[in-house]
């Protein structure tokens, strides 16, 4: 029943589950390997592009799907307001069970049970939403310098404050969706 947030690093195929303690401090509870994910580094731009998104999202109680065809799932909330402002389209981007996925994040059935339970219990305890941060890679200064010629560099600059905030404060970025 504690507050949680999720951080995904696409290049490493990792989903981090963070938990807030009674003293309001956050700690990384567990890192899960993402078994199935499609696309390349860079944001999702269109329905059917088989690309996993990047950005700041929110899972709401109504986003939980206990009857998913992929065992259990929850919708991360793509597209958010920023994505829609840029004309990006798509829907039903999920964290789910199974090991295969196109555009979503497949965790295996056993792992989604753990993640789903933690998110669901946060809602039962009164959380209004669970933040989800999706990054292309670990956004270190060195890596950002290496990516400066990427077509996605300006977009990644938009994500960088979120990464830096979590790295320095060990808490979710106060995103505005």
* Distance separating alpha carbons of residues 9 and 52, to the nearest angstrom: 11
Q: Active site residue: 71, 104, 158, 170, which one?
A: 104
Q: Active site residue: 27, 62, 96, 165, which one?
A: 96
Q: What are phi and psi of 131, to 5 degrees?
A: -70, 145
96 is catalytic: yes
Cα distances (Å, whole numbers) of residue 73 to 31, 69, 109, 143: 18, 9, 10, 32
* Distance separating alpha carbons of residues 9 and 88, to the nearest angstrom: 21
| CB contact set of 162 (below 8 Å; sequence gap of 6+) | 56, 133, 135, 173, 175
170 is catalytic: no
Give the three-class secondary structure for 164.
helix
Torsion of CA 4, 5, 7, 8, to 10 degrees: 80
Catalytic residues: 96, 104
């Amino acid at each position: 029943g504690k507050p949680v947030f999720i951080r995904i690093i696409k290049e490493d195929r990792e989903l981090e589950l963070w938990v807030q303690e009674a003293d309001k401090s956050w700690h990384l509870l567990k890192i899960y390997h993402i078994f199935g994910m499609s696309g390349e580094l860079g944001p999702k731009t269109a329905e059917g592009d088989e690309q996993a998104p990047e950005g700041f999202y929110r899972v709401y109680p109504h986003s939980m799907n206990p009857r998913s065809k992929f065992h259990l799932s929850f919708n991360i909330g793509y597209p958010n307001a920023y994505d829609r402002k840029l004309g990006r389209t798509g829907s039903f981007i999920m964290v789910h069970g199974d090991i295969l996925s196109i555009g979503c994040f497949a965790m295996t059935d056993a792992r989604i049970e753990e993640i789903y339970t933690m998110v669901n219990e946060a809602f039962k305890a009164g959380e209004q939403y669970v933040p989800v941060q999706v990054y292309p890679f670990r956004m270190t200064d060195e890596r950002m310098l290496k990516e400066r010629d990427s077509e996605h560099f300006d977009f990644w600059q938009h994500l960088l404050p979120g990464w830096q905030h979590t790295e320095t404060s060990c808490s979710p970025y106060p995103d505005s969706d």
